[in-house]
Structure 1
Amino acid sequence: MLRTIPLNDNWMFTKNNDTSHVYEIMQEGQFVTLPHTWNQSDGQGGSEPYFRGQCWYQRKLNISSEDATKRFYLEIGAAGNIGNVYINGNLAGESRCGYAMFRVALTPFLQAGDNLISIMVDNSYHNEVLPLMADFTFYGGLYREVKLLVTDDIHFELMDNGQNGVYLSQQRIGPHSFELTVNGKVRNESSTVQTGEIQIQLRDHDGKTILEASSELTFKDETPFLIRHEVIDPILWDGIEQPYLYSVTVSVIIEGQARDSRNIAIGFRTIEATTDRGLLLNDKPIKLNGVCRHQDFGGIGNAITKAHMDEDMELILEVGANSIRLAHYQHDDYFYSLCDRYGLLVWAEIPYISIPSTKDPENHNAVEQLERLIKQAYNHCSIYCWGVQNEITIAVETEQTHKNIQKLVALAKELDPYRLTVQANINGVADDSIINRYTDLVGYNLYYGWYYGEIKDLNERFDAFHSASLNIPLILSEYGVDTNPRFHTYSPKVQDYTEEYQLLFHHNAIEAINARSFVQGGYVWNMFDFGSANRREGGETGKNMKGLVTIDRKLKKDAFYLYKAYWSKIPFVHLAGRRFVNRHEELNDIVVLSNLNDIRVYVNQVLFAEINSSDAMKVVKDVPLTKGVNSVRVEGTDDQGTVYMDEIQLHYVTEIDQSYILVKEEQTKHVVNWFEKFDLSEAEDIQLIDGYYSTFDTIEDFYRNEAAKSVFLKYFGQFTNSPIFEMTMGVMSIEKMSQLTFYNIPPELLAVINKELNVIPK
């Protein structure tokens, strides 16, 4: 039988990149316990520069003479982003999928007694290893658990890039019946052919056996198996309302003895995407009340434990979400299991994000990452779709881009024909683009009212998409605003980073989603603030602050309670603006967030207003404050007469509290409108001539020709001193740059540049 031995203690770690660590015991370093990352501080805005490079982990493994006949495998939860495993100086295996589990067969390299395990982990930039560029920290380290697997000669396959060599599928075959399919492979590492059988047992939540089946087999080197069986009238896994799980035990039986066994949870359910009724779970419409989640935690980076994941799940359940987008890569298997248990529908995806590789145009790394994701997470019933790309057209969109997306979709359907496929597009992808027809569902990451446009534009974009692509199910896959809970204002506006603006933004988004049945739902970006090492904004460094909860999970922003009021069935009341303590106006609008209808508001212990409204956000206008400290209390009563209460203290002061206002670095008009130094008065579009340079060529193309390079530097030289510029040179064109608000390129400038470029022959 398979034995699993934790191997998380007594690792020596060093940033000293010396190849002698392959075969020699390290003389310097620090002892660490896994999970571990070396970017827990600098990856979240710490004082040290963000470090990306090659580091080493090392420990000894003692094999007793009694165990020398066993088969040993090392299971590494993840190594970000590249991991090479050496045993006694020999390269035993490697991974270039920084978010996936991988295994290494140890037996060929082991000896009785002490053995040296050395692991090189590298999170530096490699053009052929995804992700290449993204708005989150690429943490380095062995940031998930490591285990030693010990097996007999005959066992389920451990080296197929999957989790346990057994795959469970379920599909409805009748009004009251499902077909359960169990397939996989058995590995026989002995020199003797054995005969036996595969046995399966399906048990309900109480442990009662529902069905038993078996298949006789002859076990040679590699033996596939397949068992199908009808399940009559199972209790359905019905999301957060009823996350009912059965268990399937699959065993290899030889001469009456179990040689290997797996016990896997399964839920029976159906998923369908429609444009008239939305997403259907078990034939019933369900609006996706979703949040996105990154896998890091304040001061810890991505080296999170099960306790951290449990805490995240508690907060996600508290806000009332019924779905989660686990972005932008494969997450820990334990978290998928939590989603199974609590009924959250999961969008799972790979880090094919922002820009593709120029050295790997065929996208081999994305293909490998998708295979590992699907095979390793296949048995989780909570997963309803596989995400194949996120904003991959942000820098370039070519025929190769389309081929790569189609290839990933085809692979997903080959590996798992039972689930939907999905992609998340940047706002610049046209509503009627052919790219939207490649996947079963289409997500758009839309930030109207933050990076571009106004809050209200989201409504218009939804309707425009539906008009152009009537039969394509749409999801709002990302939306949010950076929010520092230190900042507050009476007049919320774009880029002020206040809690008040976040509240307005999300209130509009919720209403826009709920008003349209063709929108399957949305995913708040993000449930938690997260590390983004290169960020410097909103009064913080190294963090993306679009979360509903701070990165340390200690503070729930007001928008958290807005969603709770819309989504949760657990009664509560919450007064927004509690951190906006010092008020400099006498009359104040007080915002009550609650899922209760009957509300009473007291000011300085005197009843001020009574409200009966089903609105999640209730605004009490012109609440008067007296000089000094004021008490505002809200009481809400449910149908049983139970009273729920919240209270805040507000100070009426004479002057504006300047600490509530973000002091931005002064930007002169010359910096903002950098293009004004060029004469655009006579700009006019020209007919582009093939064989000559234009704004559609990549920056790398320009750099191959001195004349074209000179034109580029004339206009954009001030943008070249950044690591991002170097990463995007091979895929970014001036046309793509013009679609990004960061560059602030007017259309007239494109015409002027084309006039200069289109006379330079290639």
Structure 2
Amino acid sequence: MKRTLVVFLVMAMLTGSTKVKAQQSVRLNHNWEFLKQDLGGIWEAIRPVGKGNPESVPLWTSVTLPHCVNASDGVDPDQNYYQGPAWYRTQLTIANPYPKGRTILHFEGSGQKTSVYVYDQLVKTHVGGYDEFKVDITDAVEAFRKNPAYQKQFSGKIPVSIRTDNSRDLEMIPSSLSDFNIYGGIYRYLNLVYLPAVSFDKVHVKAEVDKEGKMGKLTINTNLYEPTKSTGNSKILIRLMDPSGKAVSLKTAVETSASDRDAGLGGPKEMVFEFKKPRLWSTDNPELYTVEVILQTASAEIKETVKTGFRNFEFVEQGPFLLNGKRLLLRGTHRHEDHAGVGAAMTEEIMRKEMIMMKEMGVNFIRLGHYQQSRIILQLCDSLGIVVWEEIPWCRGGLGGEVYKEQARRMLKNMIAQHYNHPSVIIWGLGNENDWPGDFPEFNKDSIRAFMKELNDLSHRLDPSRKTAIRRCDFCKDIVDVYSPSIWAGWYRGIYTEYKSVSEMEMKRVKHFLHVEWGGDSHAGRHSESPDNALIKVKAGGGADERAGDASLYGGAARVSKDGDWSESYICNLIDWHLKEQETMPWLTGTAQWPFKDFSTPVRPDNPVPYMNQKGVVERDFTKKESYYVFQSYWASNPMVHIYGHNWPVRWGDEGEEKMIKVYSNCDEAEAWLNGKSLGVKKRNNQDFPAAGLRWNTTFNKGINTVKVVAKKGKTILYDSISFQYQTEKWNKPAQVKLEKLEESNGIITIQATLQDANGVQCLDAANWIRFKLAGDGQLIDNQGTSSGSNYVQMYNGRAIIRVNTNKGKSVLSATVPTVPSAFIEL
């Protein structure tokens, strides 16, 4: 027996072939029933979907996939989110077109334990909520079809039931101490895939290029999937196309016989090509090559398509980050799979919108926290030009036993194998906050170090081309390639003006420093005329790290996270200072602000929006906070201008008191106008804090004021304007709530509640809790995890907003603030 290797050039012969077809895959989004509880056994799931008798228990509901068990209760202010079993069921029409083909259920992510049944047969169980897995149901389908009675009962369709379970389990990662919800459900896409008898199990493509970009090397590795013996020969053909779609004249074929494969000689195949001056992938110009790997057998041809990019990167020791030989300041953020109304079940459309918003903000780097994320996100990072740090969910709690460790190993292997081809990925993260104890009676640093070293060695063995990293575990910082300490200057510790000195001190303690996680919480819609007052209480020089208890809103040393006002005004100043300083740190590899979007968490029930981490620059429904525009003014390439305060309807102070107007822009200069009068032209200087010098001190008229700005960048001229009321009346203690309808559109009514004193003056510093309730035909649009989509929320400057779906009927909305009479409005 022998293998033959045949090398070809790429010819139009294959380009014009009509036989090649991609493996057939379809998303199973529709015709599902769902049950948010456990069953007594699989028999309770087996009956024709949508049928039964009135005594059938329990009650199933219709859903579409992706679907999250905790879409609503993850931010319900009155209860903990559900952690337990749930069931999904459907009936599939299976029509595999390939002779002796394989039928696969491909899960892109399902949390956290998943069991798959065909009729009453358990086919596979997967542990881990974030890595992909495949379930070959071919044999189970054939077994079911052999029983005519079953066939008749289900009209020829195949009953499939899936149990998911996100119950608390100390021997699983991530820990329930983690600062994010551990969701349940089939919350990523589930695909039905048809494969021929011989198909690809793995196609790995690695594109390498030297620092000068002169010589490129492409390495392609393939493994075959052949669970049953095949009698025919197979051939693998490769076609490479450049970013413009033009075929590159490199082609190869590997032939294997059935007897070779039967003898174990049909395993991994590696093909290597070298060519000069490939077009480079970068964050500004993410050039992607297309590799088509075609498998031919006597009965079928299938094609696997991989996008790849040639790039060279380097972390200079105690120095900057280089991409393709040039310094690139990594301007980053973070992402959780979490969105208003759907929890983790984000559609491709939602994901695409989120990543485009990041790119428009100027992001070129992202840390995906704290788990392997959807393949769609990685594809978007490839195509948009966003460099990636992706990590496994070994997060907080300590270190468990062998079952725990094996899951961590398996998820690291799966993450690397499944996202190996993405040129955007440069770092495999091995853990987060592994210095955080709590799950086990023993917290052993030596054991954690030993396991961290094991994971580090495993990562380098599986993928020597990428770096490893962790965040916040100082006793392991010497193990990984890149380390991020905890630096929260101006939030959990210290004041934000200490950021640069603390960062430089931490940089000198490791070879490769990359600062991920910084920023602070802001309650959307809350603003302050004196946002930095809390800094007076905070002790400087005591460090800027986060320590045990710092995230609490009670007790401990003075800190802005506890003693500040959580205003957008303060966070804009903090971010503005950080970005200003980053422009003057030539040794800095980069940073990643935490996070891009507010997300739900079980450990923050007392936050202004309960169960929400509010450190995002956009709300959970993509509503932009003012801080989004601060980032744009430093990072965005397209010209922009934004006056601070678009969501600040009422400012306050004395008559004649000088106030500041701030404008965030990346333009060269701007001219501000107040009530039709020019305030003058200011030149932008990114070291002139705040707002890079684009600020004007002036006095407002009592009542309505209008601010306009005209910004110029070269020949580009941009405009922005806002109007607001200036209130000079002083307020006393809150005495009444006023409800008013702001707008109505498509059956949705927006209601604003304002907290006023006995004279009807709005209490503009009020942060009281308010509760909305509804009686009648309508429905509150609540449990969204946003400042205007919560039935229980802290007020922002003495106001709060809620929306109601009228359902074409009548309702009464009530608003209750403790110690103040309730208010009502008929809708």
Deviation for aligned residue 1:323 = 1.0
In structure 1, the partner of 2:86 is: 55
Deviation for aligned residue 1:303 = 0.6
Change in Cα spacing, 1:134 to 1:297, as seen in structure 2 (3 Å) is: same
One-letter amino acid of the counterpart of residue 130, structure 2: Y
Map 1:275-674 onto structure 2 (within 5 A).
275=317, 277-360=319-402, 363-395=405-437, 396=443, 398-425=445-472, 429=474, 433=475, 435-469=476-510, 472-492=511-531, 493=534, 494=560, 495-554=564-623, 556-585=624-653, 586-615=657-686, 617-640=692-715, 642-655=717-730, 657-663=762-768
Map 1:122-201 onto structure 2 (within 5 A).
122-132=165-175, 133-157=177-201, 165-172=202-209, 175=212, 176-201=214-239
Distance across 1 between alignment mates of 2:581 and 2:485: 14
Change in Cα spacing, 1:293 to 1:362, as seen in structure 2 (3 Å) is: closer
Distance across 2 between alignment mates of 1:537 and 1:286: 40
SS in 2 for 1:409: helix
In structure 2, the partner of 1:721 is: none
In structure 1, the partner of 2:314 is: 272
Q: 245, 259, 274: which is aligned to 2:288?
A: 245
One-letter amino acid of the counterpart of residue 471, structure 2: A
Matched, 1:209 2:247: yes
Distance across 1 between alignment mates of 2:323 and 2:235: 36
SS in 2 for 1:363: helix
One-letter amino acid of the counterpart of residue 662, structure 2: V
In structure 1, the partner of 2:30 is: 9
Q: Over residues 505-524 of structure 1, what are the superposed CA-to-partner deviations in whole Å (9 max), with x where a residue is unaligned? A: 11222233332233211111
Distance across 2 between alignment mates of 1:49 and 1:642: 51
Q: Over residues 646-687 of structure 1, what are the superposed CA-to-partner deviations in whole Å (9 max), with x where a residue is unaligned? A: 33434233226534443499xxxxxxxxxxxxxxxxxxxxxx
Any conservation in 2 of the 1:387–1:423 contact (CA below 8 Å)? yes
Deviation for aligned residue 1:456 = 2.7
One-letter amino acid of the counterpart of residue 658, structure 1: C
Q: 64, 67, 74: which is aligned to 1:43?
A: 74
SS in 2 for 1:437: coil
Distance across 2 between alignment mates of 1:604 and 1:100: 56
One-letter amino acid of the counterpart of residue 713, structure 2: D
One-letter amino acid of the counterpart of residue 141, structure 1: G
Any conservation in 2 of the 1:92–1:109 contact (CA below 8 Å)? yes
Distance across 2 between alignment mates of 1:548 and 1:600: 26
SS in 2 for 1:214: strand
Distance across 1 between alignment mates of 2:426 and 2:393: 18
One-letter amino acid of the counterpart of residue 115, structure 2: N
One-letter amino acid of the counterpart of residue 302, structure 1: A
One-letter amino acid of the counterpart of residue 601, structure 1: A
Change in Cα spacing, 1:66 to 1:298, as seen in structure 2 (3 Å) is: closer
Change in Cα spacing, 1:550 to 1:571, as seen in structure 2 (3 Å) is: same
One-letter amino acid of the counterpart of residue 704, structure 2: V
Deviation for aligned residue 1:330 = 1.0
In structure 2, the partner of 1:704 is: none
- Moved >4 Å (runs of 4+): 64-68
In structure 2, the partner of 1:744 is: none
Distance across 2 between alignment mates of 1:23 and 1:60: 15
Q: 254, 271, 276: which is aligned to 1:227?
A: 271
Deviation for aligned residue 1:140 = 1.0
Distance across 2 between alignment mates of 1:50 and 1:362: 24
SS in 1 for 2:472: strand
Any conservation in 1 of the 2:643–2:720 contact (CA below 8 Å)? no
SS in 2 for 1:649: strand
RMSD across aligned positions (CA):
2.2
Greater fraction helix: 1
In structure 2, the partner of 1:674 is: none
Q: Over residues 724-751 of structure 1, what are the superposed CA-to-partner deviations in whole Å (9 max), with x where a residue is unaligned? A: xxxxxxxxxxxxxxxxxxxxxxxxxxxx
Change in Cα spacing, 1:485 to 1:617, as seen in structure 2 (3 Å) is: farther
SS in 2 for 1:462: helix
One-letter amino acid of the counterpart of residue 89, structure 1: D
Deviation for aligned residue 1:557 = 1.3
Distance across 2 between alignment mates of 1:117 and 1:173: 50
Deviation for aligned residue 1:422 = 1.2
Distance across 1 between alignment mates of 2:158 and 2:293: 33
Distance across 1 between alignment mates of 2:29 and 2:651: 52
One-letter amino acid of the counterpart of residue 598, structure 1: E
Q: Over residues 389-445 of structure 1, what are the superposed CA-to-partner deviations in whole Å (9 max), with x where a residue is unaligned? A: 11111224511111111111111111111111111115xx3xxx5x22211211223
Any conservation in 2 of the 1:170–1:181 contact (CA below 8 Å)? yes
Change in Cα spacing, 1:246 to 1:660, as seen in structure 2 (3 Å) is: farther
Any conservation in 1 of the 2:389–2:426 contact (CA below 8 Å)? yes
Distance across 2 between alignment mates of 1:91 and 1:520: 49
One-letter amino acid of the counterpart of residue 180, structure 2: F
Stretches of structure 1 lacking an aligned partner (at least 5 in a row)? 158-164, 666-762
In structure 2, the partner of 1:678 is: none
Select between 401-410 and 489-498 the one with higher mean Cα deviation: 489-498
Change in Cα spacing, 1:92 to 1:315, as seen in structure 2 (3 Å) is: same
Distance across 1 between alignment mates of 2:607 and 2:649: 20
Distance across 2 between alignment mates of 1:584 and 1:207: 59
Distance across 2 between alignment mates of 1:52 and 1:538: 21
Distance across 2 between alignment mates of 1:202 and 1:660: 62
Deviation for aligned residue 1:539 = 1.8
One-letter amino acid of the counterpart of residue 160, structure 2: I
Change in Cα spacing, 1:124 to 1:357, as seen in structure 2 (3 Å) is: farther
Distance across 1 between alignment mates of 2:210 and 2:667: 42
Change in Cα spacing, 1:205 to 1:467, as seen in structure 2 (3 Å) is: closer
Change in Cα spacing, 1:125 to 1:641, as seen in structure 2 (3 Å) is: closer
In structure 2, the partner of 1:679 is: none
Identical residues among aligned pairs (%): 28
Deviation for aligned residue 1:223 = 2.4
Select between 283-292 and 347-356 the one with higher mean Cα deviation: 347-356
In structure 1, the partner of 2:739 is: none
Any conservation in 2 of the 1:530–1:551 contact (CA below 8 Å)? yes
User: How many residues are paired up?
Assistant: 647
One-letter amino acid of the counterpart of residue 422, structure 1: A
What TM-score, normalized to structure 2?
A: 0.75
SS in 1 for 2:206: strand
Distance across 1 between alignment mates of 2:91 and 2:363: 44
Q: 21, 24, 37: which is aligned to 2:42?
A: 21
Q: Over residues 190-211 of structure 1, what are the superposed CA-to-partner deviations in whole Å (9 max), with x where a residue is unaligned? A: 4344333221111012321112
Any conservation in 2 of the 1:127–1:357 contact (CA below 8 Å)? no
SS in 2 for 1:647: strand
